[in-house]
Structure 1
């Protein structure tokens, strides 16, 4: 296949990936901000609704965690050309996330609701977290969170290499700033229903576990430079910055 044809196909795939990935993330951000909502009300009982929500969460965790493992990537290379691996992950994650958001069942059991100044404080934390997440995403321009730039670059020049270790911007304060800001967004909702509490606990646990597992992969991939980075910068909580102040 000619290089120009490769690049045209790559552009189409990258555009689809960008639209679905960005759309799912924006909807997810709305979910985090507004509190849980139900798009498709299945009329389930309280317990069954929570079990379904937990199952939906588990499905996303499994898809996401399995596809980032090295053994999966090795097997994927046998069926898919190298530039498309990251985009396959982005498309799959977006699709599963959209299913989670569509099928999520909201509970009428309100456990906590902040009012007045405290509610405003929760909203301010959320806004700051979104800004921090955008900062982290901008820092990842050379790392390419959706792998679209990687796809386009390698389709045009298969020998091109992309730097994957980011240590600037928010990465100077915490090794996983996108996870950190996501945790803040998760817990900054001023209205906690029973289903939202299930969501917060499960997704927070998955993020912490995922960061820990990712550390092992990063140490294997980068070796001593990453181990030095681990010694200098905290994993999820920027406690060293707080101590300095």
Structure 2
């Protein structure tokens, strides 16, 4: 019964986390005004800025703390280890929803591309391509492990959890973190850039970069020289910014 409850918990956590991602995407799309981050300002610019930066800090700190191995070890002392990732997804989803729903508009127009123009539709193509890259990337590494479902499912089946193997497939041949690249592209590809949207995009881009640096440290510990070799030849966040990616990645794939 306990294992069934853990699996149900992971499903609920997954649904909340996934729903928060959809809310996030919709909030920056300018396609649904009711949930857009760009609405009429309700407070002064600087109080709104401070509130927004506080929301970003809360979101970032939660990710940084809960992603560390030291936190995972403490968590396992009081709760079943298989639900650790699901708990991370649950709290991340709730805080991301809070970030979006409590984000304070600050007004200010930086650019606004006219509808029904080639550039307007091109930017929206990039927008949706970015989020598609994010979701596809999650499946390339194992979507259900990333969101905590694999851990509790294996526990339900009385099977031990096994660490995912290091592999370089498709998008990962061109950039080490296509998931983050997709999120950044989705944030910046907008036909209407306001100060509200700019602060939102800058803050989350900074979070992606900082989070990537911490993640890379853990990956080097887990996979050693294989990851260091991959890291030396494959760009971190911007595809096609290093030479000889194709040849090097073939060598890495052969070794794995």
> Superposed, which structure 2 residues align to 1:13-28 within 5 Å?
13-28=9-24
Say which structure, 1 or 2, has more relative contact order (CA 8 Å, 6+ apart). Answer: 1
- Residue 250 (structure 2) aligns with: none
- Residue 174 (structure 1) aligns with: 175
1:10 and 2:24 are equivalent in the alignment: no
CA contact (8 A) 2:126 2:189 kept: yes
Secondary structure of residue in 2 paired with 1:192: strand
Q: CA RMSD in A?
A: 2.5
- What is the TM-score of this pair, normalised by structure 2? 0.85
- Residue 34 (structure 1) aligns with: 30
C-alpha distance in 1, partners of 2:77/2:186? Answer: 38
Q: Which moved more, 1:29-38 or 1:96-105?
A: 29-38
Please report how far the alpha carbon of residue 228 of structure 1 lies from its aligned counterpart in structure 2 after TM superposition. 2.0
- Residue 135 (structure 1) aligns with: 136
- What is the TM-score of this pair, normalised by structure 1? 0.89
- Residue 54 (structure 1) aligns with: 53
Please report how far the alpha carbon of residue 60 of structure 1 lies from its aligned counterpart in structure 2 after TM superposition. 0.4
- Residue 166 (structure 2) aligns with: 165
Please report how far the alpha carbon of residue 131 of structure 1 lies from its aligned counterpart in structure 2 after TM superposition. 2.3
- Residue 253 (structure 2) aligns with: none
Secondary structure of residue in 2 paired with 1:77: helix
CA contact (8 A) 1:40 1:102 kept: no
- Residue 121 (structure 1) aligns with: 122
- Residue 224 (structure 2) aligns with: 223
Secondary structure of residue in 2 paired with 1:111: strand
- Residue 90 (structure 2) aligns with: 91
Runs of 4+ with >3 A deviation: 38-42, 240-245
C-alpha distance in 2, partners of 1:15/1:39? Answer: 32
Secondary structure of residue in 1 paired with 2:181: helix
- Where does structure 2 lack aligned partners over 5 or more consecutive residues? 247-256
C-alpha distance in 1, partners of 2:17/2:194? Answer: 27
C-alpha distance in 1, partners of 2:142/2:61? Answer: 27
- Residue 234 (structure 1) aligns with: 235
Q: Which moved more, 1:136-145 or 1:181-190?
A: 136-145
C-alpha distance in 1, partners of 2:23/2:178? Answer: 20
- Residue 66 (structure 2) aligns with: 67
- Residue 45 (structure 1) aligns with: 44
CA contact (8 A) 1:122 1:188 kept: yes
Secondary structure of residue in 2 paired with 1:112: strand
Aligned residues: 241
CA contact (8 A) 1:143 1:162 kept: no
